[in-house]
Structure 1
């Protein structure tokens, strides 16, 4: 049975967010390494696996078309910076016991997608979406006022990945080839760091244990697979649908942070998260309501056809 584009998109986005949600568990095994070193390994090994995938799929001509197009290079330079910032912040959060802050950022992402759609895609917000966006702003302000700190981890993760997704949505570049070039653009910085800057013995991987090296290599798989799934999904689903599935990632991370990593979760944090969850409930209700309404209209329009 041949699957339609929407079904393929749903499968890909579900796999992407599930793997991202399991990220804190995976990267805890590497927490004794410097943040920049972990990110550098992610880039280097992601590049390796992407090269293998590209060569196996025989997309050499696609790569050539990117190389000879200056606009594509400029575009991928921007997306590579965004994804690097996102990776670095995410790893830092896991290493420094801020998994709950990271999950907060990814809970906010669906609302931020709506915000981006309004400003850059000229989509008009309905009353439910306005309520959701306003509630998220209130949640962030509450944390700033009550806890006396700006949730920088959450904000950086939200903004960097939100704009990354927006740009990818508007791109016509092949998803795998685009990912490959993002890593190529980051390779000189990260590989140079591992060779010439990083003084840790683990940077060369020569004196590491086999288990540590296995996790270092697998960091490339954990980086590449979700992004491949995500980029495939962005070409088959609209932003609002993608936003709906984003609940998977932060939910897994949230429970991981509390029950496995035993991070503190006080009353003020509960209020902040509750406001975010309320906003997500509002846009979920709105999405379901609009979907049902569309089905009803379709059913009504099809009745005359069935009577003929």
Structure 2
């Protein structure tokens, strides 16, 4: 029970941080999205290197580096998470926080869909129903709101693919080692972005105010800590519980976008979000019931 409590607290902490990220990034204005992502990559790499040193985890990291397959997968994961970070911050700083929340609401359904397309998993009827309702929701938003939700779908699919890659590497790559390599592969991208920002709009790090400099310097910690908390929670809490806790982040983002920042929520958006929420309820109930049946079968097996 103690391990489970630690796991729940860790996972909840991760999702709470992710949920409040829009407010953090808005505090970094006038720093632009390209500079923010560049510092996020560079400082996350520095933070992970420090963690590897403090925890004396370099030997384990060395075992990862000696495996070409893991190097390739972490490079792909780095590219995918870069797309996720860049689109997320671009959307946040241009008044589209509600669209980012929709992306993370859709993400669990995309994860299920990727399981079918990539891993050849077979879905239960209720899961197909949830996917169908989600497709209708996207159609409603496109036709009713008059705009394709590219931000939401990019976030949902990029994070879904990132999770799929993490599943492929499994326990062979720990959270710190994985993030170290992912940010390492992205260092050239970050450096190029800082050079371009420097010769165009100008670097803002250290030029706005001491408070702004401190906040921007925390970008690496803000990136790494929730990933580490999530990894700690995932090891101690059943996947079903993680699946339910993951809705904390998009709910907070939706509240921030709709009621704190006052982004528009016309009827078409409410209908689209409503359909997505119905699909998520169906998916969550199905997941809980299937998990209970699985435990029941294992309990019977242990008695025989």
- Normalised to the residue count of structure 2, the TM-score between the two structures is 0.90
Give 2:151's aligned residue.
153
TM-superposed deviation, 1:9: 4.6
Corresponding residue for 2:105? 107
Q: Residues 122 and 233 from structure 1, CA distance in 2 versus in 1: closer, same or farther, beyond 3 angstroms?
A: farther
Asked if the contact 2:15–2:246 (Cα under 8 Å) also holds between the matched residues in 1, the reply is: yes
Gaps in structure 1 of 5+ consecutive residues: none
Residues 77-108 of structure 1 show CA distances to partners (whole Å, capped at 9, x for unaligned) of 10000010000011011101100000000000
Quick one: distance in 2 between partners of 1:155 and 1:185? 25
Instruction: Give 1:239-250 correspondences, 5 Å limit.
Output: 242-250=242-250
1:300, 1:115 → 2: CA distance?
31
The residue number in structure 2 matching 1:130 is 128
Q: What corresponds to 2:214 in structure 1?
A: 214
Structure 1 stretch 195-204 or stretch 149-158: which is displaced more?
195-204
Aligned to 1:63: 61
Instruction: Measure how far apart 1:297 and its partner are.
Output: 4.7
* Residues in 2 aligned to 1:235 and 1:169: alpha-carbon distance in whole angstroms: 13
Q: Give the structure 2 partner of residue 32 of structure 1.
A: 30
Secondary structure of the residue that 2:207 maps to in structure 1? coil
Cα RMSD between the aligned structures? Answer: 2.4
Distance, in Å, in 1 between the alignment partners of 2:78 and 2:301 is: 46
> Does 29-38 or 113-122 show the bigger shift?
113-122
CA distance change for structure 1 residues 8 and 117 in 2, over 3 Å: closer, same or farther? farther
Give the drift of 1:66. 2.8
Q: CA deviation at 1:35?
A: 1.0
How far residue 8 of structure 1 moved from its aligned partner, in angstroms, is 5.3
Q: Distance in 1 between matches of 2:17 and 2:202?
A: 25
Structure 2 residues not aligned, in runs of 5+: none
Alpha-carbon distance in 2 for matches of 1:113, 1:233: 19
Query: Aligned partners of 1:41, 1:293: CA distance in 2, in Å?
Result: 46
Q: Is the contact between residue 113 and residue 243 of structure 1 (CA under 8 Å) also seen in structure 2?
A: no
- 1:149-188 matches, within 5 Å, as 149-171=147-169, 172-188=172-188
Match of 2:3 in 1: 3
Instruction: Give the aligned partner of residue 198 of structure 1.
Output: 198
In the alignment, the residues of structure 2 paired with residue 204 and residue 32 of structure 1 have an alpha-carbon distance, to the nearest angstrom, of 8
Provide closer, same or farther for how the CA distance between residues 174 and 224 of structure 1 changes in structure 2, counting only shifts above 3 A. Answer: same
Call closer, same or farther: CA 1:41–1:164 in 2, change over 3 Å. Answer: same
Asked whether the equivalents of residues 34 and 197 of structure 2 are also in contact (C-alpha less than 8 Å), the reply is no
**Cα-to-partner distance string for 1:18-57 (whole Å, 9 max, x where unaligned):** 1100101111101322211010111111111111111011
How much has 1:298 moved relative to structure 2?
Answer: 5.5
Aligned pair count reads 302
User: 1:239 and 1:276 mapped to 2: Cα distance?
Assistant: 21
Distance 1:168 1:298 in 2: 27
By how many angstroms is 1:205 displaced? 2.5
Tell me, yes or no, if the aligned pair for 1:24 and 1:99 is still in contact at 8 Å.
yes
C-alpha deviations, 1:100-154, integer Å up to 9, x for none? 0000000001111111222333332111111101100111111111222110000
Describe the SS at the equivalent of 1:47.
Answer: helix
